[in-house]
Structure 1
């Protein structure tokens, strides 16, 4: 059965740091098939205020571009992550996979918060639309980036598209309950495993404060594990046969025909 890791990595992480070397060594000791990182995992979090800063944005883009080699060092694991990329006069939050050294675009974040600390609507706009699945590490995978997990219809769509895993990189605050609840509902409506990773702390010492709490959830909605300060990486084995069974169980099998007819 494929093994998948969720993590909580600190705000301000740099690919040349001692912290990164410790992370790399820990992943090497586990040798998972897939690792899901937190959302845009390198450098300090930028979209704290609504004023878009083009120079800072370009520096963040360049840092994540440089960090791709560090993520490739986590091989043989396939890495699922996201990074800021330039898109017109703003950024796009691009989910991607690194597998066998090859970079593949998976998704651009479509849904954004707009509040103090998370002014992403002012900083980001997708350059690619849609929610689709792709096979990564032998597992049919869909991506929901942070806020997108709160929209059950997106998880259900991915499940009906064949997703066996929904990977959820996050940069979320301290309310772990809401995120785990959303993760459980995403698993229940999709019949897929949900694996989510989150930033933790704040390198700058001010708001927002990231809450950590990466989690792994099975297709029944049961939380299997959660990261913590003394357990920043956790692993789950994905039972693909069990996913196939879950696709035929309630409520995944329920037809949406009547909803379409009402529209």
Structure 2
């Protein structure tokens, strides 16, 4: 049986890659030792898009912090880390999904879909950037990434399934209303025949935005399994890659699309 151990988390708002909170994360990872760690979306420092207007200095601070944090992520002991970070792009930012594996950095794609509402003024801060929705090989696992709001565009999950994804991951920064996220994650698993894992931010932002935590995992046949909480902010699921590959031949994955 071909398996992989996938860690998913709820990390605190304003996280720094040093200090007591990071030390606790490091200790939990030492015992977990996953094949892939999936973090929440842009996990370090304050949530920029809580503010309605782009701030170039704040953007640069976040770029620098996430760049500095790459070494801290490498030091966690996971064979690979999938996360996202802000990068400079066309006078604003792009939200870059990436994988760290064997100390090598690979860009996956830049986030394409953005909300624009209180707490999440992402259209004001982020450009759609470069790159499309291609699967990436991470160890023995073929992975598709949907950053936060991208999860609600279900055609992307279906396309990942057609491309043979074993696992779809969603690093996110979402509020306390969790039902739609779990429904969307379940649908992503069902239409792709892939395992689905999501990690989320947790805690209150500087302007009051509350992030809901609850990283969770869904099996390829659409069964919602465990989730994180304040008592257990990191969980590890062992995924059966054969189950994902077999599910591709099951309903509704095999149904032909209308051209």
| TM-superposed deviation, 1:203 | 4.8
Q: Secondary structure at the match of 1:128?
A: coil
Does residue 234 of the first structure (1) align with residue 235 of the second (2)?
yes
Counterpart selection for 1:167 from 130, 146, 169: 169
Q: Secondary structure at the match of 1:47?
A: helix
Q: Secondary structure at the match of 1:14?
A: coil
| TM-superposed deviation, 1:226 | 0.4
Is residue 75–residue 100 contact of structure 1 (8 Å, CA) maintained in 2?
Answer: no
Structure 2: distance between partners of 1:139 and 1:64:
25
Deviation per CA, 1:116-137: give whole Å up to 9, x if none: 1100011001221310001113
- Structure 1: which 5+ residue stretches go unaligned? none
Please name the residue that 2:211 is paired with. 210
Please name the residue that 1:115 is paired with. 117
Q: Secondary structure at the match of 2:21?
A: helix
Does residue 34 of the first structure (1) align with residue 74 of the second (2)?
no
Structure 1: distance between partners of 2:205 and 2:187:
32
Deviation per CA, 1:86-123: give whole Å up to 9, x if none: 00111000000001111010111000001011000110
Please name the residue that 2:105 is paired with. 103
Equivalent residues in 2 for 1:1-263, closer than 5 Å = 1-204=3-206, 206-256=207-257, 258=258, 260=259
Structure 2: distance between partners of 1:132 and 1:76:
23
- Structure 2: which 5+ residue stretches go unaligned? none
Going from structure 1 to structure 2, the CA distance change for 1:203 and 1:113 (only over 3 Å counts) comes to closer
RMSD over aligned CA atoms reads 0.9
Structure 2: distance between partners of 1:70 and 1:171:
20
The runs of at least 4 aligned residues of structure 1 exceeding 4 Å deviation read none
Is residue 61–residue 83 contact of structure 1 (8 Å, CA) maintained in 2?
Answer: yes
TM-score norm. by structure 1 comes to 0.96
Deviation per CA, 1:133-166: give whole Å up to 9, x if none: 0111310000000000011101101111111100
Is residue 14–residue 45 contact of structure 2 (8 Å, CA) maintained in 1?
Answer: yes
Q: Secondary structure at the match of 1:2?
A: strand
Structure 2: distance between partners of 1:207 and 1:185:
31
Structure 1: distance between partners of 2:115 and 2:46:
18
Structure 1: distance between partners of 2:55 and 2:139:
37
Between Structure 1 and Structure 2, how many residues are aligned?
A: 257
Structure 2: distance between partners of 1:111 and 1:203:
22
Is residue 184–residue 221 contact of structure 1 (8 Å, CA) maintained in 2?
Answer: yes
Is residue 110–residue 129 contact of structure 1 (8 Å, CA) maintained in 2?
Answer: no
Structure 1: distance between partners of 2:152 and 2:90:
27
